[in-house]
C-alpha cells in the first residue's frame, strides 16, 4: 500500500508518517520546500507549488489514498493579509490536487481523506455536536471551515471517495497549543481563559494519526469528528496539566478583553466552546488509546516530569 500526504512535515503529518512506516505503508509526500525532499525506502518527497497548480505527477504513482493536511496555521495573529493566507492555502492545495487528478483520470477510485476542523460548529456552552449538525459558527474560523469542506467535496466529481475529519485540539509535546500552555504553568503563570467553562474537544496526536489510518484501511467516507470521547472545560484541562507538572495554580482567570488586546481576533480560539461527539467513529470500531484527559497528559508529560524529579534527587545527593 502507498499513500500520498500533503502537510507531512507538520505535527499531524509526522505522526501519520511514523505510523505508516511502522505498519509497512509507503509514503509519498508533497512539499513546497525543495530542501525537504527526501528519496528513501518507502518515503519519497515531491515538489509542488499550490498557488500555480505546479505538481510533480510522479507523486501519484502507485497511490491509492491521499491524506490532505495542507494549510497555513491558524495559531498566528489574524491580520487581514494572514486571514487571506489561511483560506488561500487550503483552497489552493485542494485545487492543485483536483486539477492533477482530473488530468490523470485514474482508473481506480482514490480515497481523499482531508483534515477539517471542529471550528465549523457553533460556539455553545450547552450543545453537544455530532456530524449531523447543519448550523455553522458565525466566526472567521467557521467561515473558513465551511468553504474548506465545500472544496473537499468537489473530489466526488472525479471518481474519488471523500472523507473529512473535523479535528479538535491536538495534544502533543511537539507542537500545537499544549507546549505554550505547559510553559505558562511551569512558570507559575497558568490561568483559565474567561469563565473557564468553555468546552475543549481534544485528541491525543497518536489517536488522531491512528484515526486517519483506520478510516483509510476500512474504506470509510463521509464526515467524522477527530476528537476523543470526553471533552473537558478549559479549567479542567488546566488543572489536570498543573497536577501532572506538579505546579500550583493561583492566578485569577484571564479576561477576554485582555487577550483581545494582546492577540487580536485570533484570541477567539481561547474562548470558543465546542463540545463535540466521537460516537460515530467509535461505532465503526475505532478504539481510542487515550479516552480521558488525565491519561493523555500523563502519556505526554509524566515521563518527562519523573526524569526531572530523578535529576533533582541525584543533584541533591551529590551536592
Distance of alpha carbon 140 from alpha carbon 120, whole angstroms: 10
Q: What is the pLDDT of residue 304?
A: 60
Cell triple for residue 140?
472567521
Cα separation, 6 vs 206, whole angstroms: 18
Is this prediction's pTM over 0.85? yes
Asked whether the CA dihedral 139, 140, 141, 142 is positive or negative, the reply is: positive
pLDDT tens, position by position, 36-45: 999 998 999 9
The pLDDT score that the predictor gives to residue 107 is: 81
Predicted local confidence at residue 305, as pLDDT: 52
d(CA 111, CA 40): 24
The closest of 298, 312, 186 to 246, measured between CA atoms, is: 186
Question: What is the reported pLDDT for 303?
Answer: 62
Q: What confidence tens digit (pLDDT) does each residue in 176-194 have? A: 999 999 999 999 999 999 9
Q: Given this model, what pLDDT does residue 183 score?
A: 96
| Contact predicate 248/172, CB 8 Å | no
Select from 190, 198, 149, 207 the least CA-distant residue to 15.
207
From the CB of residue 248, how many other CB atoms can be counted at a distance below 10 Å? Answer: 9
Q: Cα(14)–Cα(20) distance, rounded to whole angstroms? A: 10
29, 4 contact by CB (below 8 A): yes
The pLDDT of residue 239: 97
Single out the residue of 93, 84, 28 nearest to residue 54, CA to CA: 93
What domains are defined for the chain?
Answer: 2-170+203-228+277-289 (3.40.50.720)
Residues with pLDDT less than 70, the chain:
303-319
Q: Quote the pLDDT of residue 302.
A: 79
Amino acid at each position: 500500500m502507498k499513500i500520498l500526504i500533503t502537510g507531512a512535515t507538520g505535527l499531524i503529518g509526522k505522526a501519520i508518517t511514523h505510523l505508516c512506516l511502522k505498519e509497512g505503508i509507503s509514503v509519498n509526500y508533497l512539499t513546497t520546500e525543495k530542501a525537504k525532499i527526501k528519496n528513501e525506502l518507502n518515503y519519497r518527497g515531491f515538489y509542488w507549488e499550490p498557488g500555480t497548480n505546479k505538481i510533480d505527477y510522479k507523486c501519484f504513482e502507485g497511490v491509492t489514498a491521499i491524506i490532505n493536511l495542507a494549510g497555513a496555521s491558524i495559531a498566528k495573529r489574524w491580520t487581514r493579509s494572514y486571514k487571506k493566507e489561511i483560506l488561500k492555502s487550503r483552497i489552493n492545495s485542494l485545487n492543485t490536487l483536483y486539477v492533477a487528478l482530473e488530468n490523470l483520470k485514474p482508473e481506480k477510485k482514490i480515497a481523499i481523506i482531508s483534515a477539517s476542523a471542529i471550528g465549523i460548529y457553533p460556539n455553545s456552552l450547552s450543545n453537544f455536536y455530532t456530524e449531523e449538525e447543519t448550523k455553522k459558527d458565525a466566526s472567521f474560523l467557521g467561515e473558513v471551515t465551511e468553504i474548506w469542506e465545500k472544496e473537499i467535496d468537489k473530489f466526488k466529481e472525479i471518481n474519488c471517495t471523500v472523507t473529512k475529519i473535523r479535528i479538535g485540539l491536538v495534544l502533543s509535546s511537539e507542537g500545537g497549543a499544549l507546549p505554550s500552555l505547559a510553559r505558562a504553568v511551569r512558570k507559575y503563570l497558568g490561568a483559565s481563559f474567561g469563565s473557564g467553562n468553555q468546552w475543549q474537544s481534544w485528541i491525543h496526536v497518536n489517536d488522531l494519526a491512528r484515526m486517519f489510518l483506520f478510516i483509510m484501511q476500512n474504506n470509510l467516507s463521509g464526515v467524522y469528528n477527530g476528537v476523543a470521547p470526553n471533552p473537558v472545560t478549559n479549567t479542567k484541562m488546566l488543572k489536570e496539566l498543573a497536577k501532572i507538572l506538579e505546579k500550583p495554580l493561583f492566578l485569577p482567570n484571564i479576561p477576554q478583553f485582555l487577550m483581545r488586546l494582546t492577540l487580536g481576533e485570533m484570541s477567539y480560539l481561547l474562548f470558543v466552546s465546542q463540545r463535540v461527539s466521537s460516537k460515530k467513529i467509535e461505532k465503526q470500531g475505532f478504539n481510542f488509546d487515550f479516552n480521558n484527559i488525565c491519561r493523555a497528559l500523563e502519556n505526554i508529560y509524566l515521563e518527562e516530569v519523573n526524569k526531572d524529579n530523578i535529576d533533582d534527587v541525584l543533584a541533591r545527593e551529590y551536592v
